[in-house]
Each structure stands twice: as C-alpha cells, then as structure tokens.
Chains A and B, each alone.
Chain A
C-alpha cells in the first residue's frame, strides 16, 4: 500500500490515520482487503491519492470510498461501456483510477479524490486470487510503501487450509532486527494467523524522523500437508475443488532442447544473461535427462544433431559450448523451433531417449522473426503441426519489445507457457527460476475424472504434465446440490508405470473443522471455480479457433460480470464525488493483459526520475547536423 499522499507538499496537510491489509486465505483462495483512512487537515479542499499495488494474478472485486459519511461503491461493467464514461472523464481532464504495470509480479492501482477541508476519506480495495503453488509453496505478497509513519499500520493474514498446514514463513524485505519480533505468527493444525503491526514510533527510521522503515514487500509462504495420492477434494455449497499434488512421486526423465536466439538484437545484456542462465541450468541438470541446443540467427546451428545424456563429460562440453555463444545476424524462429522438434522426434524414433520421458522445447528469444518464415500465424501453425501435441513448448521472451502475444499463443497451443524475462539484473535468476519450475516432471498426460452425471462446468481436467512443487487444481459444480460423496479417479504416466488412483470425495463440514470461525468468507469455493474458469476462458479466447475465441470471450465476460471480477474484459466504475461546481467523473479500475503491461512498461521507461537516470552510464544522443 502506498497509502494516501498529497499531490503537492506545499499545500495543506494530509494525516494518514490507518493503513490495513487484511488477507483471508481459504483453500488457496485469497481474499484481500486494503483499507486506508486519511484526514484532510488543510483549510481548503485538496486532492488525496490512494496508490496501491496488487498481484498481477489477482482480480479486483470491489473498490469503494467513504467521504463525509457518504459511501461510493464500485460497479463492474463491460469494458466498452465503462470506457465511454472513462473517456468522458479523461477528456474533461479528470484523474481516472488506473491500473498500471509495476514490475514482474505486481500491478498498480491508483486513484485520487478531492476531499473537503477537515474531512475524512476511507478507501477500500478488495481483490481475490487463487494462490499458485510454485517450488513447493504458496506465496502471499503484499507491497507496502506508506510515505510516512502511520498511526495504525497493520498487515493481518488468516490462512484456513483443511488439509493441514505444513509450514508458514513470514518475512519482509524491510524487516530490521527491531521490527522482526513484531511479526506474530500463530499456527495450529489447519489454521495460521500472521500479523504485523508496528507502532508509529517503531515505524520511524529514527526517533523524531519523518521517514518510515516500512517500504517493501511483506511475504508469507506456506504449504499444506499432502498425505493422499488422490489429492484433496473439497465440496462446499454445491461446488467442488480438487487439489492434486501427490507426495513422493519419482521424477520422470526429461528431454529438453534449448532453442537459443543469438541474433543481433539479443546483443549486450540479453545474450550475456542467456549464457549465464544456461550455465547455471547445466550445473543443475539431472543425470538421467537428455538435452540439446539449437542456436539460431538467420542460420540454424544445432550443437549436436542428437540430444545428449547429461553425463558429467557431456555437461562439461556443453558448458564450453554455451560460453562461446555470441550474438550476430537475423532471426529465423520458425526453422529453429522446427529443428528442435525434429531432433526430439528422430531421437525418440531411434530409441535414443527413454521410452517414458517428457519432451520439451525451451525457446529463448526476443522475438521479431525476420528471416525465413516471418509471418507469425504461419510460424504458429507450422510449430503446432510439427509438435502435434507430443511435446511442450516453453517460450521465454526477453525485453520490452518482444512480441509477447505471439510467444504466449504459440506456447499455449503446445501445452506450454510463455514467460517474460525482464532485463533487470536478475534476468539470469528469472530464467533459472523458470527452469527449476519445469525441471522435474512427475507425471505426464494427467487426467482427473469425475462422474459425468454428477458434475458440470468442470474446469480443465487434462494436463500434459505435473511438475514437482506445483499443483493441479480442478473445480466444478455439482449437478445435485445435496451430493456429498462422489467417485474421483486420476490417471497419469509415471517414469516406470502408469499412475492410477481413485477415491471418494466428501463434503467438508466447515463448522466441524473450524468450530470457532463464524464466518470465513462465504462462497469461496464457487468464487474459486469462477476465477479458474474465467482464467481458462481468457486463455482460450487467445488460442482457440475463431468460433471458440468468440464463445470463450462471451462466457468470460458474462462470468466476470456475474462474479464482479475486474478482468481484461471488464472495468470497475466508481462515480467519483467532485467539487460543488464540477460534474461527477467516474473512477475506473481496469485489468491489464500481459501485452498491455508490456506496452505500459515501454512507456514507463521514459518516466524514470532524474536520480534513476544517473544509473545509466551512457545516454543516447539524437542529432541532426551538416557536413
């Protein structure tokens, strides 16, 4: 929470009474309410800002303001309809509430409102997200940046996990030795409570100073117990959710081809970071895995025509090879990826790779194909047809100018995902981090099956892989509301044999599991299902056929409106109170797509403060002159 702040420091005073972040997680579904109360102590009205950051994976579900006892509540509308109000506001010079990109994990929500002299304003922002399990843990990230010490500052998180909590860690980037003991953590079998509430004095950088120590990320990580190989199925209020991440599965060997763009535009940091990350990956590669490299510019040059087993000798040879990769030339993504696919197919056919193993291609590029086939839909079509659903394609896109949408669609069409690699100092770590997530497949071709006649509107239930440290989540609605038992089966391919389990799911009696909690937050399983369904529909609206795209978009819009989620298809409109002589202007909260975020970041580069600019050693010069 960047909390409330004044537009100008020379005019009146804004006193921030409180900043509270209240997060409730129930079965991975997090519901966070950020509240900030401020008083305009000046003797004239002035504009007060509410500036917060929320996770990219979250959907805003509500925003309201209370000014002089009057509450202004947000309403989710179809984006196009909201846009008309938004454009009216912008054209009349009003500040509209905006969601902007803010780094890798967060996006920024910012609004301002005119507050009369000696009046209070309360801002309340609510958002929800399904926490994703990565590397064996869930993460609740709260970014806090109040400008000054705040009378009441509080971060509270309550985690309810009926499976039982395996561990909880809470830490913050700003924690000093003095602040550390203020993080309170209470963990019982199925419940955790974390709070952090420093006093005004404890927030100060030094006694009597204005500055605050509270500036950074507050992180809570936890995991749940996993005893059942079937996973955990929870049935609540007519909806079910199935969390599948069985313990103690051996990893499946993988065959990975790294397709590396070494064209001229990868020059400088990008290629250096690529080398650095590949070296780190090679040092960690499992000995039973096979790997290969295809480096490309306008020419396609495989390291070797076949994949190599990750023996010590081969890895040493690969390390020497990676160190020699230099940037030059154009970009032929099409031929390079097809070469990688071809290598995997040929090696599989020639029995050079283990029969039960997972095939994947990791493409590292900054995009912009300009050699060979350069028509993007044609490349996607070629790659999809070559892969034929038999392997996964992961795309790592470097830099702000990469055509992310192209990579995103291409990966999703081939059972993979795309990830942007931000060119910050830790780009190599981002690459490694991504690789670590996919480094250990446990199962392939995972199918989660439920009786057809008892469930409906089930989210995606087939997954090409399950990776160690991750989790598969499927949710759906029960056709019969009274049903509290149903048969669940899971199939998958393991390294030695097929994985096959079945069991009975039963409804949880929350009053028994949490007898002291009167209210957690109502219909969370239904909202979890809606969140997951919307996410998957939004993906389908990008990758499906044109008919599928239209249907998926319409359904996603309908559900976003029904469940009051601010998604890329909807906006939240709050009618903003204005001064007596001006008309009402709406505030709008939008959700950015990854492409829009990228666009915003290209722009925001231009708004670095002068201090930040001094970090750049060389400044570009643009000039015109004569000889």
Chain B
C-alpha cells in the first residue's frame, strides 16, 4: 500500500510504500488517550505477477473507539459495527446509513464508507473492486483520515504520527533514474534521506482512476520518515 501525507500549508505531499508478507497487520492510528485504534491487514495478489513483484493491499480494517464503546470491522466483503452488546452488519452492495448515538456510518454502494466517531475522528474507507476473474489482483481498501483535530498529542501509528504535522526540508534537486522523477535530499527527523519526486494516486474523487498527487517519495518502506521501522507497527490481531 502507498501512504500519503498531504500538507496543504506547504502545498506539498510526502509518500512512501509499506510492504510485508500478506496477512501482516499494521497499526495505522493508535491514540491511547482517546482510546482510538485503527489496524489494517494486508493481502497480496492471487499469485505472483509476471514481473515477480508482490504487491500488497489492505483488505480489512479493525477500528475501536474504547471510550465510545464502538468497534468496527471493515473488510472487502462487509462492514460490521459493534456498540456495547449491539451488532449491525452492512453490505457494500447497498447504499445505507446508520446513525448510532456515538457513530455515524454512510455507505455509498460499492464505493465508500464514511465513518464519523462522535467528537473524535472522521474517515473514509474506499472499496476498490477488481474484476472477479482478474488473474492476479483482488478487491482492496483505502483508508483516508479527514478530520483528526480532536485526537490527542500522543496519537501515533503509521498514519497517526503525522497528524501533528511534520517539518522537513528538501534540497539538492538532481536528475534521478527516471527523467521525470528527479531525486533530492530530504532532511527530516534528524535524518538525511535520498528522495524522489513522483506522484501517488488519491482515489477519493475518482475511485477508478484516481488523481495523481505529486509527492516526495521516501524509499525503503518510509525509512527515516516514519519513527522506527515498519516492523515496529506490526501487531498480532486486528483488535
């Protein structure tokens, strides 16, 4: 999966990929103060593509808001909501909305799920439907955080650590391996990194084709940009 940190104040974006063995579960957001946790599990392609590169994608997210007593499990198959002892199940094949005391869900048929957790966070999960008979690829999900301002300063995770904003500088622009993707040196979190100007796709407006967003790509699973390395974010269960 590709991670994107959009920084409108600087009119710039940072991006990186995180890949690991299919089945691995990563923590995307962990806010111990507000009790919010978002974990995601990746899958791979159905079989190794001819180019030999194993691509991974998120196919399942587990979301908990402890204080509100809300738990969500969103997969490419369906959406389950648990609040206290109640459970509701929604299907991607229906347009639906659910208004519970602490959580609002809006499903746009076969396309997106918008989740608003009361006084805390708002996010959208996009469903990417792939042709069922595609020889390699399968359905996957995207996770977009829209409003994070009520999360606590201690929020962390692969996405959460950037909710505080990030300071960086890019210098020494030079030709890269690909003509239209120049390399540069980035100074961030005390590291000096070689980065490449590229783009990644934001699918919110156009779930099929996406929209190219120019960004500074940080190589090697975001090493130097993320705190620690990607293995530090691996957890054993979805909740």
Contacts and interface: CB of A to CB of B under 8 A. Distances in A.
Interface stretch (B85-93, B102-110, B147-155): B147-155
Interface in B1-56: 1-11, 18, 28, 40, 55-56
Contacts of B8: 617-620
A513 B1 CA distance: 79
A603 B1 contact: no
B206 interface: no
Contacts of A331: 169, 187
B142 A623 contact: yes
B167 A608 contact: no
Q: Which of A297, A298, A617, A627 has the most CB of B within 10 A?
A: A627
Contact of A330 (B18, B145, B172, B203): B172
Nearest to B43: A626
Interface string B112-155: 00000000000000101000000000001011111111111100
Interface stretch (A44-52, A104-112, A139-147, A259-267): A259-267
Contacts of A268: 9-11
A199 interface: no
Given A619-B8, A625-B1, A626-B1, A330 B171 contact: yes
Interface in A318-347: 328-331
A625 B187 contact: no
Nearest to A269: B9
Contacts of B57: 626
Nearest to A602: B164
Interface string A579-590: 000000000000
A617 B152 CA distance: 22
A624 interface: yes
B228 interface: no
B5 A620 contact: yes
Interface string B144-187: 11111111110000110011110111111000000000000101
A295 to B, nearest CB: 15
Contact residues on A (Cβ < 8 Å of other chain), bracket = 20 to 34
A328 B150 CA distance: 33
B58 interface: yes
A620 B7 contact: yes
Contacts, number: 126
A623 B147 CA distance: 12
Contacts of B167: 265, 368, 401
A267 B28 CA distance: 29
Contacts of B152: 606
Contact residues on B (Cβ < 8 Å of other chain), bracket = 35 or more
B219 interface: no
A622 B2 contact: no
Given A268-B9, A330-B185, A625 B169 contact: no
A619 B163 CA distance: 11
Contacts of A330: 169, 171-172, 185, 187
A81 to B, nearest CB: 26
Nearest to A266: B169
B171 A297 contact: yes
Given A330-B187, A371-B171, A613-B149, A623 B144 contact: yes
A621 interface: yes
Nearest to B128: A626
Contacts of B163: 606, 622
Contacts of B144: 621-623, 625
Interface in A551-607: 602-603, 605-607
Interface in A43-96: none
Interface in A194-247: none
B201 interface: yes
Q: Which of B58, B169, B200 has the most CB of A within 10 A?
A: B169
A627 B165 CA distance: 25
Nearest to A613: B149
Contact of A624 (B146, B159, B168, B171): B159
Contacts of B168: 265
A425 to B, nearest CB: 15
Contacts of A368: 167, 169, 187
Contacts of B185: 330
A370 B153 CA distance: 26
B153 A603 contact: yes
A605 B55 CA distance: 37
Contacts of B220: none
Contacts of B169: 263-265, 329-331, 368, 370
B95 interface: no
Contact of A622 (B56, B148, B203): B148
B229 interface: no
Contact of A620 (B6, B40, B153, B203): B6
Interface string A283-296: 00000000000000
B157 to A, nearest CB: 10
B66 interface: no
B80 interface: no
B97 interface: no
Contacts of A624: 1-4, 18, 28, 40, 58, 142-143, 158-159
B194 to A, nearest CB: 14
Interface of A: 263-265, 267-268, 297-298, 328-331, 368, 370-371, 401, 602-603, 605-608, 610, 613, 617-627
Interface of B: 1-11, 18, 28, 40, 55-58, 126, 128, 140, 142-153, 158-159, 162-165, 167-172, 185, 187, 192, 200-203, 210
Given A606-B149, A621-B146, A625-B126, 10 more contacts: A265-B168, A268-B11, A331-B169, A619-B8, A621-B202, A622-B4, A623-B159, A624-B3, A625-B1, A625-B144
Top 4 nearest A-B pairs by Cβ distance? A618-B8, A625-B142, A370-B187, A626-B57
8 contacts: A606-B163, A607-B149, A608-B149, A620-B9, A622-B5, A622-B148, A624-B28, A625-B4
